[in-house]
């Protein structure tokens, strides 16, 4: 989220320097289905100026076909990346163990798993992510960036 890049530039630089793939997720985490196309695209462009990436993951996994067309256009040329496994780490009513079980139950070869780097999600992320990585590593899975 572009707004977080401005709030925490040192974290953004560390993530880049550690070799992680950077993607655009809009500047303000806009809901595609509830945002007019012009505002959505402008917000994405604002984030793009900071991220300099060709990858875009729509917040909430929701985006209109018209927004996809604009983002894939010659001007922005963004590749839309969707996910197929939602950890649920953002849900404060979900136990860390249930978050872990959600991922184990729904992940398969080639899955893209969503975890969040927010204070709200941190307890579930801190518990579940190491277990998820260990579980799938033990099953012979390998992990790669996009």
The CATH number assigned to the domain holding 41 equals 3.20.20.370
Task: Tell me which H or E stretch contains 113.
Answer: strand 113-114
Q: Are residues 100 and 68 in the same domain?
A: no
Residues 65 and 102 in one domain: no
For the chain, the domain total comes to 2
Residues 96 and 72 in one domain: no
- The band of 117, judged by pLDDT with boundaries at 50, 70 and 90, is confident
Residue 143 lies in a domain: no
- Taking the mean position of all CA atoms in its chain, how far away is CA 34? 19
Per residue in 15-37, pLDDT (tens digit) is 999 999 999 999 999 999 999 99
44 and 101 both lie in a single domain = no
60-81 pLDDT tens trace: 999 999 999 999 997 889 999 9
- What pTM was computed for the model? 0.90
In a domain, 144, yes or no: no
Average the pLDDT over 105-134 and give the result: 96
In this structure, are 7 and 60 located in the same domain? yes
pLDDT of residue 136: 98
Give the residues across from 56 on adjacent strands.
24, 80
Please check whether residues 48 and 71 belong to one and the same domain.
yes
Q: How far is CA 104 from the centre of its chain?
A: 18
The answer to the question of residue 53 being in a domain is yes
Q: What does residue 79 show for φ and ψ, rounded to 5 degrees?
A: -95, 125
Full residue range of the structural domain in which residue 23 is found: 2-80
| Cα Rg of the chain, angstroms | 16
Q: Are residues 32 and 51 in the same domain?
A: yes
Q: Name, in order, each residue with C-beta under 8 angstroms of 90's C-beta and a sequence gap of 6 or more.
A: 116, 118, 120, 121
Residues 62 and 121 in one domain: no
- In DSSP terms, 113 is beta-bridged to 85
């Amino acid at each position: 989220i572009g707004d977080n890049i401005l709030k925490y530039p040192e974290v953004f630089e560390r993530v880049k320097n550690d070799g992680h793939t950077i993607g655009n997720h809009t500047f303000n985490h806009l809901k595609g289905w509830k945002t007019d196309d012009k505002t959505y695209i402008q917000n994405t462009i604002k984030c793009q100026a900071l991220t300099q990436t060709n990858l875009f993951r729509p917040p909430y996994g929701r985006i209109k076909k018209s927004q996809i067309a604009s983002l894939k256009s010659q001007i922005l040329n963004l590749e839309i990346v969707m996910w197929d496994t939602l950890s649920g780490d953002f849900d404060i009513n979900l136990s860390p163990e249930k978050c872990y079980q959600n991922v184990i139950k729904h992940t398969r070869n080639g899955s893209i798993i969503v975890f969040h780097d927010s204070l709200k999600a941190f307890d579930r992320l801190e518990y579940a992510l190491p277990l998820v990585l260990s579980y799938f590593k033990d099953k012979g899975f390998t992990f790669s960036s996009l």
